[in-house]
Amino acid sequence: MSRVSAEDYSYLKQKGSFSLPKRDVLEDLLECYFDYIHPTMPFIDETEFWEIYHGRDADGQPSPPSHRTRISWLIFQAMLFAATTCASPELLRRAGYTSRMVARREAFFKVRTLYSLDIERDNMVLLQTFLLMSYWRGDAGEDKDAWHWSGLALSKAAGLGLHLQTSTPLTRRQETLRRRCWWSCVLRDRLVALSEQRPPRIQLDEFDVPLLTLADYNVGLRSPICKLSSGEELGKRTTLSMFSVQLIRLMLCSGRNPPSPSMDSQSASPGAAETWGRVSQPTRDDKRFTGFADLDYWMTNLPEVLQHSPRSHGSHGGDAVLPCILVHRSALHIYYQ
56 in a structural domain: yes
3-state secondary structure at position 56:
strand
| Parent domain of 134 | 6-163+170-227
Confidence of residue 138 (pLDDT cuts 50, 70, 90): confident
331 in a structural domain: no
Confidence of residue 80 (pLDDT cuts 50, 70, 90): very high
In the predicted model, what is the mean pLDDT of residues 220-225?
64
In the predicted model, what is the mean pLDDT of residues 39-51?
93
Least confident of 32-46, 124-138, 286-300: 286-300
In the predicted model, what is the mean pLDDT of residues 55-78?
72
Q: Give the separation between CA 244 and CA 217, rounded to whole angstroms.
A: 9
In the predicted model, what is the mean pLDDT of residues 249-263?
61
Q: Give the separation between CA 90 and CA 50, rounded to whole angstroms.
A: 24
In the predicted model, what is the mean pLDDT of residues 221-232?
73
Average pLDDT over all residues of the chain = 83
Least confident of 85-99, 195-209, 272-286, 297-311: 272-286
Instruction: Give the pLDDT confidence score for residue 3 in this predicted structure.
Output: 73
Confidence of residue 284 (pLDDT cuts 50, 70, 90): very low
Nearest to 211 by CA among 183, 230, 240: 183
Least confident of 4-18, 89-103, 258-272: 258-272
Write the pLDDT tens digit of every residue in 141-162.
Answer: 778 999 999 999 999 999 999 9
291 in a structural domain: no
Res. 100: pLDDT tops 50: yes
Percent of the chain beyond pLDDT 90? 60
In the predicted model, what is the mean pLDDT of residues 83-106?
96
Least confident of 109-113, 139-143, 183-187: 139-143
Q: Give the separation between CA 88 and CA 4, rounded to whole angstroms.
A: 35
In the predicted model, what is the mean pLDDT of residues 50-72?
69
272 in a structural domain: no
Res. 289: pLDDT tops 60: no
Instruction: Give the pLDDT confidence score for residue 1 in this predicted structure.
Output: 60
In the predicted model, what is the mean pLDDT of residues 297-323?
72
194 in a structural domain: yes
Least confident of 40-54, 75-89, 110-124, 212-226: 212-226
Res. 222: pLDDT tops 70: no
Instruction: Give the pLDDT confidence score for residue 265 in this predicted structure.
Output: 37
332 in a structural domain: no
Instruction: Give the pLDDT confidence score for residue 69 in this predicted structure.
Output: 72
69 in a structural domain: yes
The one-character DSSP state at 166 is -
Q: Give the separation between CA 43 and CA 180, rounded to whole angstroms.
A: 5
Check the CA dihedral 323-326-328-331 and report its sign. negative
Q: Give the separation between CA 180 and CA 165, rounded to whole angstroms.
A: 13
256 in a structural domain: no
Instruction: Give the pLDDT confidence score for residue 122 in this predicted structure.
Output: 95
Total number of domains in the chain: 1
In the predicted model, what is the mean pLDDT of residues 88-113?
96
3-state secondary structure at position 62:
strand
Going from the C-alpha of 188 to that of each of 106, 154, 271, 283, 287, the distances in angstroms are 23, 10, 24, 25, 28
In the predicted model, what is the mean pLDDT of residues 52-76?
71
Confidence of residue 269 (pLDDT cuts 50, 70, 90): very low
The residue among 68 and 93 whose pLDDT is bigger is: 93
Least confident of 14-28, 255-269, 320-334: 255-269
